[in-house]
Amino acid sequence: MQAARDYLYWLSGYTVRRGTLAGGNAEIVANNWEAPDGLDVGGGRVYWVTTDQTGGMLESANLDGTDRRTLVMEENRVGDVAVDAKHGKVYWTSLPDSPRSTFEEGTWDGGIRCADLDGSNVETLIEYPSGSEAYADRIVVEPETELLVWSEVGDGYEGRIQRALLSPFRPFALDFVTGAGWPRGMTLDTVPGVGANNLYYTTSDELRRVGLYWYGSESTVLTGLNDPAGVAVDPIGYYLYIGTPDGILRAVTDGTNLETLFPAEREVGSIVLPR
């Protein structure tokens, strides 16, 4: 029987999928009416966010897709989700916009929101008012050090990555990464019981790495990629996983030995390794 750590989870079209780290055939964990926007795994469950014609929703299921539940529904569009099972919290980005705006007058303030793992006790940590130049999009969390990292993007906005401490919530080091382009996927090289030292993120054709605690440590790991979206890293096994329209690619963490692990069935979005 495969252990949870032996699986890779990803978004593909209207589905949540998983496959073993050995490659081969993938299986569908969940089908959706709309394409999910973000994905994370933690505490023995998979979480994903989706936007339909009325708003966004946060859903969860067991790792094999059973016991599917809708945890949160809101009128806003949603961007991404991050799970901190150690402290019993789930975080997501809520965009300052809503599909309801096409048929209903109103304004919608976005932000970074959090709730308990069952969807209760929803609160907004950072607000991005309606009409903001930028908004929070991709988001990752580091449970060991209680660190939240997110990207800020917007129309005509070059993009930047910021971070905050969670207990208590305190943003710090604004413009942590500037001129990042539009980060499409982000992950941390979390080591169990230790924490993370690096952030990996994808842009339109690159995979980049930056140290969380060392300024000026940003570097390009891979370039010339075909529209990379999701990224996951296994710091123990020294492997990177990158989602592209060509499939899921795997490389050593220094960018060498690039190969295709899963061929594409649909364009690949977020990629997650269970923690």
Min mean pLDDT across 12-26, 166-180, 250-264 is at 166-180
Tell me: the pLDDT tens digits for 132-173?
888 999 999 999 999 999 999 887 667 788 899 998 888 775
Residue entry with tokens 């140290």: 211
* pLDDT grade for 1, boundaries at 50, 70 and 90: very low
Structure tokens at 117: 């793992």
- Mean pLDDT along residues 185-191: 93
- Specify the pTM: 0.94
Structure tokens at 79: 């961007």
What CA dihedral angle connects 207, 127, 195 and 254, to 10 degrees? Answer: 0
Tell me: the pLDDT tens digits for 97-144?
899 887 788 888 999 999 999 999 999 999 999 988 889 999 999 999
* pLDDT grade for 195, boundaries at 50, 70 and 90: confident
Fold of 4-272: Neuraminidase (2.120.10)
**pLDDT for position 85:** 95
Residue entry with tokens 């917007």: 154
Extents of the domains making up the chain: 4-272
- Alpha-carbon distance of 138 to 194, in angstroms, equals 23
- Alpha-carbon distance of 81 to 138, in angstroms, equals 8
Min mean pLDDT across 171-180, 195-204, 218-227, 240-249 is at 171-180
Tell me how many helices (H) and strands (E) the chain has.
0, 24
- Alpha-carbon distance of 197 to 147, in angstroms, equals 11
**pLDDT for position 52:** 93
Q: Are 68 and 61 in contact (CB under 8 A)?
A: yes
Min mean pLDDT across 118-122, 175-179, 234-238 is at 175-179
